[in-house]
Amino acid sequence: MSRQTANPAMDVLLRTLDIERLETRLFRGESPQVGWQRVFGGQVIGQALVAATRTVEENRFVHSLHAYFVRPGDPSIPIIYDVENIRDGGSFATRRVVAIQHDRPIYFMTASFQDDEDGFEHQTAMPDVPPPEKLIGEAELKAQFMAAAPPHIRAYWERPRPIELRPVSLKHYLSSEKLDPHQNIWVRTTGPVPADRHLQAAVLAYLSDMTLLDTSLFAHGTSVLDRSLQVASLDHAMWFHRPPVLDDWLLYSQDSPSAFGARGMTRGAIFTRSGTLIASVAQEGLIRKKATA
């Protein structure tokens, strides 16, 4: 089910990922000016992946990345991506990327690329959940629940976004009940993405940073929208099992096996509507109560 209708927010994302090449392995990325106080982590992941990809042979595709967020990004100035060529082997290539602002690193990433090969195949099954058409959409969510929501929650949901979210359950957003730390969310781009496998991987990396830390808060009856919390991604790992497909809904299935020491750990699996596992994700993030006077 392909959607060819252009969307301004999706166009902004595609322009954001189309970073500028300054030197052979040096790139500059801009941030959309949408009023955020810090750069969205998924943007940095996606831009860093694009930078690394542009230094690798065209027929080698990312199969994994491992990253650390070390400082918050400043959306008011460009981000410089410095790519180091670690290795070009017979079938694999490895790159290390440092993202820099204010003369200091804000993000480190190592990514590995591989030629397509045949081999053993298996995957875990997709959870049995209602299809996205059976769930409440963002328009209905805003109409039914946002009028009485606090201003910062309304601002979050009403901002034009390149990725549409359709949670299987809304209970987390509507109560302070402590829930099992897992959730399933249908996600899709709000406009077409060019049929470029490298770019599609970058968009998938961008959306992979969404909602993970929220899952780690389910067991505590709160969410990332709670202003009494300090929440931030610390690290992010992603494995690309099969070529990404972005022309329909994807199911992002998540669970949080642990929270301890002001850190929450969440795992994710991304499936196509037909049940094909295309990526796995793991992230640990800071989840702490802010100090009170």
Catalytic residue among 101, 209, 214, 223: 209
- DSSP for residue 289: E
Catalytic residue among 47, 223, 256, 283: 283
Cα separation, 78 vs 205, whole angstroms: 20
Cβ neighbours around 81 below 10 Å, total: 28
- Known catalytic residue at 183: no
- Known catalytic residue at 2: no
One-letter amino acid at 101 equals Q
C-beta separation of 101 from 141 below 8 A: no
Cα separation, 218 vs 181, whole angstroms: 5
Catalytic residue among 31, 233, 253, 254: 233
Please name which of 45, 18, 36, 15 lies closest in space to residue 209, comparing C-alpha atoms: 45
Sheet of 182-189: strand order equals: 20-23, 26-29, 79-88, 92-101, 104-115, 60-69, 229-240, 277-289, 263-272, 250-260, 182-189, 163-167
- Known catalytic residue at 103: no
DSSP string across 114-134 = EE--------PPPP----GGG
Active site residues: 209, 233, 283
